A and B are shown apart, each in its own frame.
Chain A
């Protein structure tokens, strides 16, 4: 089957308001952190060129508003996503508890062709705050959640200090690429929702 070379990879960042989605995106794309980002209203995206094995891709990273009330807008933005990044703040239990909602809402609104195997990546942000002393969600707890959702890759970051941000997005890009390639081979008349769960390991080994 002649494969259409994909050059655009679409990534959606989701998570509660204030967990640092905009900061993460800007840290990754512009290598900057500012205290003056405004609360996101509506949606926006940044693009970045990434290279894998001498193929160039454009990563299109969508940053959406975290406030629940704006979620109904999602439909317009989630469509065609290749990877979904879930972000929580390691200092906020609520933002962790909400991950399930974000994940489900995404699957409902984006309705990917193969929801069971759609690639998610989890980021626990703001590990720098208070030298880690105000942390309320343990790494163990986060990893357990990832395991329960089909081994979602997990990263702990500080958008402020730039810690682990590059690594996280490398993995995000790879996952998006993989999902994009699967889509190319995907035949519309063989819809099979019951296929076994592909195992994906914690961290990124792809």
Chain B
């Protein structure tokens, strides 16, 4: 605790800080036009703003950061944002040069920026998050020396910046209120060209002719596109290098895996049983489109590669040349992912506790749950630990005391809305609206599941009461659709109103940002997902890029409610308890996304799915995803991605605990 605090405040012995002091430009400065910017940029770019000591945090540890220089430049009346990490100084040995360059932002035109979210806590560092029109967002940029306000003021001088009506901390870029104005402005601004203009960046070399002066002459539209293309296609694109490097590492693993699988296959155990499981799937119940996933499973076997096409009606897929999966997850997971164990029972759980009821080794317990889950009757005792409602080192007695205290606290909270009279409610629009939303949603939540079935179901009412109470407990966040999806299994497991409430509270401490007004929590996760796919399946990433799918909105539902709508009820609970262990990573759910996408990659690319088709395809996967093999793949991917994977996920990405807990859900303030 004390160590963290010192890391938060003390910059005096920080190498980056010292370096920036030496560079003599620790504070903002404005430059005249014509002033040279760094040689990597166009000569005629005008430097508008420069700020040193702006950092990103590649991991959740405050001490691991990459400091750099934030710049605004202007060229052909387009404003560009860039952030370049400092070279050569390392604040922490664990951060490699590659980590540094992974996040480099090179000249993003503001025509590609949708909004800037500002975070200026009273204590701790200020940061901004830049969200692109594609829906992606860059990781938070921390202003160690302050100055977010100045930054925004400068941006405002050059682009149209409007405060979002939804959230006072969000500034919309070039978002004109009237459609007419917007139409007019789109005539003069080089905006609205698709980001991925169909170039395939795999060979890096081709785009070099686009560089330099030639593009500047062609006019605004073209040059902004080239700028962007340049950013992504530079021959030393760090992310590409990273993947290549990673793949070298992986290829060893893959070879090892292939040997192992061949062996397994010939012995007709492990591998064979997976094959069999998939053959046993009721294929006839698949929507036709989905059958190819089963086919992918077939391809695990070296034999079906040869005799090809077990599903004859899938010829379209085979006509298109689908790039190989660089990671061959099916094989990896046999090496890295452990097979699932039977769920943990009471006797086993008790063995994790000392005589007074403390969990002696929480990591061992979490490991056990990760690999096998929990017997249903035991869930109500273990979930509160996983969710963080119970402390692992609490005793039986302490937990009992906690329960009774929390029950009273819950009753008090509930009183707050229960005591609202009809007369008061008439004058309390916000309350009425929230209640209305919750009323509408609880009757649409899992009503086919026996626990919530039927008219006048009491459990549905309890769910309503809990959600309404939560919206008072966390008035800033309020209620948002998707929350009832999370609460439903918790209430079903806990079977106690107050306990369910507090478990839900604990879960929302981590996942609340999913429901934030600015959708920031979702944007960060979608960004991290795109980085992970780029790392773990470059051909698929390139495909998404080419087909305008990089916003990953087709994974929105997966992430918002952690696959609640994708699996049947019992399977969802199994998945959640695995995710909640945070055993390999807090972000295993993102690796689950990658695992599913990889399973479908040949289908997606083979059929040349566009955004719409892909969205529909993903939505229809619901109910057809095999949980066990998916979790195993996800584990394997997570282990293989290792630190590079972790570094792809910006700090504070849900379900990580928020970086600073002052003003979790900021609503209003009047800077700018």
Contact = CB atoms under 8 A, between A and B. Distances in A.
Do A and B associate with each other?
A: yes
Interface string A21-60: 0000000000000011111111111000000000000001
Given A18-B440, A36-B447, A41-B561, A111 B192 contact: yes
B343 to A, nearest CB: 28
Interface stretch (A67-75, A127-135, A151-159): A67-75
Contact of A76 (B192, B443, B481, B611): B611
B445 interface: yes
Q: Which of A42, A45, A111 is packed against the most chain B CB atoms within 10 Å?
A: A42
Contacts of A38: 444-445, 565
Interface in B152-182: 166, 175-177, 179-180, 182
A18 B437 contact: yes
B482 interface: yes
A43 B615 contact: yes
B433 interface: yes
A94 interface: yes
Interface stretch (B231-239, B397-405, B551-559, B629-637): B551-559
B553 A76 contact: yes
Interface stretch (B16-24, B76-84, B183-191, B642-650): B183-191
A1 interface: no
Contact of A107 (B135, B179, B192, B557): B179
A65 interface: yes
B135 A75 contact: yes
B515 interface: yes
A72 B519 contact: yes
Contacts of B611: 76
Contacts of A65: 481
Interface string B605-619: 000000110011001
Interface in B430-481: 433, 436-437, 440-441, 443-445, 447-448, 480-481
B565 A17 contact: no
A92 B429 CA distance: 13
Interface in B211-232: none
Given A38-B444, A65-B481, A44 B186 contact: no
Contacts of A77: 553
A92 B133 CA distance: 33
Contacts of A136: none
Q: Which of A40, A68, A70 is packed against the most chain B CB atoms within 10 Å?
A: A70
Interface string A105-129: 0011001000110000000000000
A100 to B, nearest CB: 12
Interface in B522-560: 551, 553-554, 556-557, 560
B565 A41 contact: yes
B517 interface: yes
A70 B166 CA distance: 11
Contacts of B176: 108
A139 interface: no
Contacts of A183: none
A44 B180 CA distance: 29
Contacts of B561: 41
A68 B177 CA distance: 17
A206 interface: no
A187 interface: no
Contact of A73 (B166, B186, B448, B553): B553
A70 B448 CA distance: 26
Contacts of B444: 36-39
A44 B433 contact: no
Given A17-B481, A75-B135, A111-B183, A44 B619 contact: yes
Given A18-B437, A38-B565, A41-B556, A69 B519 contact: yes
Contact of B480 (A36, A67, A73): A67
A42 B133 CA distance: 17
Contact of A39 (B441, B556, B615): B441
A42 B182 contact: no
Contacts of B516: 69
B182 A39 contact: no
Contacts of A73: 135, 519, 553, 556
Interface string A68-108: 11101101110000000000000010100000000010011
A42 B179 contact: no
A45 B517 CA distance: 25
B440 A69 contact: no
A44 B556 CA distance: 11
Contacts of B183: 111, 115, 191, 193
A94 B551 CA distance: 32
A129 to B, nearest CB: 13
Interface string B412-443: 00000000000000000000010011001101
A17 B612 CA distance: 23
Contact of B560 (A41, A75, A115): A41
Contacts of B615: 43-45
A108 B437 contact: no
A69 B557 contact: no
Contacts of B437: 17-18, 67
A104 B175 CA distance: 12
A136 B519 CA distance: 33
Nearest to A10: B612
Contacts of A40: 481
Contacts of A45: 612, 615-616
Nearest to B187: A191
A65 B560 CA distance: 13
A108 B175 contact: yes
Contacts of A92: 436
Q: Which of B179, B192, B436, B616 is packed against the most chain A CB atoms within 10 Å?
A: B179
A92 B551 CA distance: 34
A76 B183 CA distance: 18
A92 B565 CA distance: 29
Contacts of A76: 135, 551, 553, 611
Contact of B448 (A36, A67, A68): A36
A92 B436 CA distance: 10
B180 A193 contact: yes
A42 B553 contact: yes
Contacts of B436: 18, 92, 94
Nearest to B429: A94
Interface string B107-134: 0000000100000000000000000010
A60 B135 contact: no
Contacts of A44: 615-616, 619
A115 B179 contact: yes
A80 B177 CA distance: 20
B601 to A, nearest CB: 21
Given A42-B619, A115-B180, 16 more contacts: A17-B481, A36-B447, A36-B448, A38-B445, A41-B482, A42-B556, A43-B553, A43-B615, A45-B616, A69-B166, A69-B516, A72-B518, A75-B135, A92-B436, A94-B436, A108-B176
20 contacts: A17-B481, A18-B440, A35-B443, A35-B447, A36-B448, A39-B445, A41-B481, A44-B615, A44-B619, A69-B166, A69-B519, A72-B519, A73-B519, A75-B135, A76-B553, A94-B433, A104-B177, A111-B182, A193-B183, A193-B184
Interface of B: 114, 133, 135, 166, 175-177, 179-180, 182-184, 186-187, 192, 433, 436-437, 440-441, 443-445, 447-448, 480-482, 484-485, 515-519, 551, 553-554, 556-557, 560-561, 565, 611-612, 615-616, 619
Interface of A: 17-18, 35-45, 60, 65, 67-70, 72-73, 75-77, 92, 94, 104, 107-108, 111, 115-116, 191, 193
The 4 closest A-B pairs by CB, nearest first: A18-B440, A115-B179, A107-B179, A42-B556
